[in-house]
Structure 1
Amino acid sequence: MQNKEQSAVISLYESKHKEKDTVATHTHETHQLLYVLDGDGACELDEHVYDITADSFLIVPPKTSHSIRADSHMTVLVLEFDAGKLSQDVRTQLIPNVFGTARVQSFSAIDSSELRQIMRKMLYEQSHGDQLWQMALKIHIAELLCTLARSNQEAGPGDTNKLRVERLRQYIDTRYYDIESAEDIAGRMGMSKRYMQTIFKEYYERTPMQYLTEVRLGLVKQLLVESDKDIVSICFEVGFESLSTFYRLFKKHVGVPPNMYRTTQRNREGTPG
């Protein structure tokens, strides 16, 4: 894999460490993100020592002195890239946000799942991608940095269950278009479907999937009135997989079919008050 990994603006590679292995203090000119797949140990970032375990994420800005000590067998994914070759938006908005300080960061179950999925896509592109693989890597790293930046904004103390359901609600609000099932959400949350539904209903008096339907139908109503898009396109855009299911849910919750709702609302808005 030398031809791809060494020539890439972005490279993602595995670093294995035996028990008691150490990586001496050193620096890089590139930006680095290290994700601990398994094992535990410690790292030093600019003379600050941190414990690291599976799912720890090390954020290493350029020229940061850092070292690693493995207390057990440890496998680390190292993402290394030249930020100067990324888009201007990524360089000016995401890089300063994510790489403002060297640190070890932990994430919510949802964010951890998102980060793992993105890194899997990057590994695939790097190993098996076509002639567009380097462009695909740049897109994925922008997605990765965006997830990290949002996680920074959302971090804070509070009741554990409340933080979980608020994070879950926000996830539904922003990813309504690609959620497939309650099991899908529970898997991203790292909890059982039953527990997820129990704590969400405790705070919002509805299940996550009921809330998802409300979010989707709210957007449908807005698009019906404010756009000329076909109903089939609107159904697809908000995440419904079946047109018949969409029509049934819309009629059940709104009381009239989508076409009638569009006509009624537009006539009402055109009537002088």
Structure 2
Amino acid sequence: MVTLKITVTYEHDVSINAFHWTPKTYRQPLHAHSSLEMGLCLSGTGTFYFGSKQYHVKQGDVFLVNNEELHIAQSDPDDPSHYLFLNFDSSLLMMEDPCLLLPFSYHSANFSNLIPAGSPLAEAIIPWMTTIERELREQAPGYMALAKSALIQLCAQLLRHSHNSLSASRQLSMAQSMLQTKALAQLVEQRYREPISLQDIAQELGISVSRASRVFHETTGRKFADYVALLRVQEARRLLAGSDKQVAHIGFECGFQSLATFYRVFKEETGVSPVHFRQTLGLDIPEKH
């Protein structure tokens, strides 16, 4: 079956999307995407496919999807399912506490994506999911901070649940990986405006390049270079919206080594060019030539 890799763009300065979706009544191609995802079945029934796994869906079921696993939902023709979905970038959790990424650092074959309706975990996280959707939809003052706070609360609940289900040896192994990932992330956040490489970071931490690469990818779902580019784009968005600096100056200040790379990567992450992004905010700052 054909599979798709989808690039997710975000509608707000906080990297979270919330949207309603009714799947088709026929099976569409499996897909994966750069974001982490959670889906809540609000009504109806259907089937949710994850690779070779499949789950019957009913109202109140919640599903977890990381940024590696191929998946697609399908509605029952006689009782179509309707979902609330959240997409969010792993960098949000990485910068808050890398341990919050643990529930999404799973191996597909032996992981159950389903959190059943009525279970204690579903009852604990559904209010946070609906809070995020409401805040992003209503956009009252402070909505981005509240949406991010709700996401952190939600993922903390997931972390507690997943931690209790792991063996002691697995908890120790993952804790060690998290410490290394946190150290990696802190160095990257300090130095992403500079020319940096994974080799430089690994050497500074005293670990091998292969170990650094594996830990980073398993935790964030992103390659090291992609994560650095994401941080640079996020900083560029902030400066484009909150300063009158020229676009070219912003690109170099955020660590991009050429304007062509800045424009290409920014559009890949946001769906628009830096100039268009600034224009959508109603800012008309003339560029110097």
Give me the TM-score of the superposition, normalised by structure 2. Answer: 0.46
Higher Cα Rg: structure 1 or 2? Answer: 1
Give me the TM-score of the superposition, normalised by structure 1. Answer: 0.49
